[in-house]
Structure 1
Amino acid sequence: MKAIRFNRYGSPDVLSLEDVDLPAVGDDDVLVRVKAAAVSPLDVRTMTGTPYFMRLLCGLPRPKPIGLGGEMAGCVEAVGGNVTRFRPGDEVYGGRGMAPTARSAAFAEYASLPQDGMVAKKPANLSFEQAAAMPVSGLSALQALRDKGRIMPGHRVLVNGAGGGVGTFAVQLAKAYGAEVTGVCGTHNVDMVRSIGADHVVDYTRDDITGTGRRYDLMIDMAGNHLLPVIRRLLAPNGVLVAVGGPLKGMWIRPLLGPLKLLVLSPLIGQRLAPMMTKASGDDLDVLRRHAEAGKIAPVIDRTYALSAVPDAIRYLDKGHARGKVVITVS
């Protein structure tokens, strides 16, 4: 099969499209013929091995023989002897989450996933390209709002970074939960963010979100572009900040200091400050599927690329201006 591989850390120039063996399929695994995949910031971090703690997962001093791609959609080609949840021909979506192994990498014609891992039936009303855009970004938004943010109907929710992969899902899911949603994004995303349901849209290139006078019950922050004292002024006295990703400054310990600071400070104040780590969950993929089939969420896709053009797709995503998701059409 064809698959993207890399043998050293670096820029997208280290990636190559190679002929490799089909992934092994264990007794509890499903073999998926990948139809589409999606690019995420995790692919950039895996490829570059930065911040350097990523190399504890991906290999020291060089990457293990791994592929890239954590989100996919496709058809079940074969199943292991113990598999009961899926059968050949099923249309599924999911991915590998944080586990960097070659057999589950999405930038390939086939991938092998455990049936109890991050895989579920594909939403029937979505194309493979749309479904591939959902797993990691959709789970991040869902778990940030529901689990970390404890969202309730009527909450005032601020989504900082509303035009990106996680942000577009966060806006739609917050509306599905009955919240009043304000999205913060750049000028080129204002109309799109409004079209997916935001009640208010703030263009950060023209307006200062801190000058609106509004305070929020919940802030989902993907951008990480405000100091903590500023964020606390945006939150209601008992408001919640959920920090999802954001820029990683520094190569060693510094990227870990921000989440650690939130964890230390949160018990000392009335507001709750929660860093976010997305959990791989097939059950939560089923939640997203139901939302999608009910018409409450729909992926926003900026561009699509062929499998051979994965390096170009990663370069584009890494510029930081993608609208929603960047998708790879595999077969």
Structure 2
Amino acid sequence: SFECTLESCLGNLMTSACMNPEGFTKMYGANETEATDYATLYPVEAYTCQNKELAKSYYPCMMDIENNDHLKGIVDCTTEMEKEPLGATDFCLPMDKYITCIEDYYVKFCDEGIRSYICNTQEIAFNFDVPQCQAELHPCLASKSPAVLPGNLNYPGHCSLSDGQKTKTCLNAYFQMYGIDSTNGLPNYYDHQAKITSITDHYGVAGYDIYCYFESTLETCLGELMYSPCMNPNAFTVMYGTNQADSINYATSFPVEAYTCANKDVVKANYDCMVDVSKNHFQGIIDCSNALNEGLPTSDDTCGAISTYIICMEDLYVELCGPSMKGFICNTQEISFNFDMNNFCEGKMPDCD
């Protein structure tokens, strides 16, 4: 509101010589540094207010970085820039590296959606302060946020640094139980799944007791964080640097694990049949998947195609294992699809028993 009032009052003078550093020196007697700082501030403010909704959406993350990380990354980026020799022939290059460093710092703690905003605010400031570098700085690309389906996001909001650190500590301990050292990142999601499968393959039905002990230990460690923004796909990207597909798969696996372990008795009672399906009737699962893959591109009803797939899977397991599996298969599939698709099909899939 303040910036808009000023801009309305000034009109064309907003971008005139009256608003450059020399103008502030003449009007207010400001020294060179202060005059430059004041003059640079206003084009940055104007850009920020033009992108107010984006700035507001990232405000919690930006404040969290300032309050908890104390902007250490900005200090580090500045230190690296100042290491460049004063007599460097291309003095624009250190500035360009600095801007990229700042972008990466904010993306690390927020997400890719903030990159363009940080890039533009930094370059506007540098271009105003050092106009000779205007053509030498890298272009600020449009934000490359992951594609998101409409619907209700799973665990929306910002995962604070302190909550993220606790979540990662709990997850690291969880992965360590599977023999995975996640301190420097996570393996491909399907490699993690292979670790889980190896436990049930080795211990049989008793493997689910181990599987659910690991899950309950994680849930106890996390507490309310189990269903917080610290366990959504973006959080896995921030914590572990996973790609989009792995981030979604990891995040989706935990609500499915929680449901599975809450219904462990059903799983254990049908264990032999489930193994038989996976080993001797896997073609049935492939047929259901192929029908889904063929139906999705040609159907305007995404949720209808997914519902057909879920019913196909239910029918397969009920035919081979009996009716007690119907609700379990339905629920695990719907939890997975709802989480993976931001609840886009919630209320549009079969009712689960």
Scaled by the length of structure 2, the TM-score of the pair is 0.23
Pick 1 or 2: higher relative contact order, CA cutoff 8 A, min separation 6: 1
Larger Rg: 2
Scaled by the length of structure 1, the TM-score of the pair is 0.24
Larger relative helix fraction = 2
Larger relative strand fraction = 1
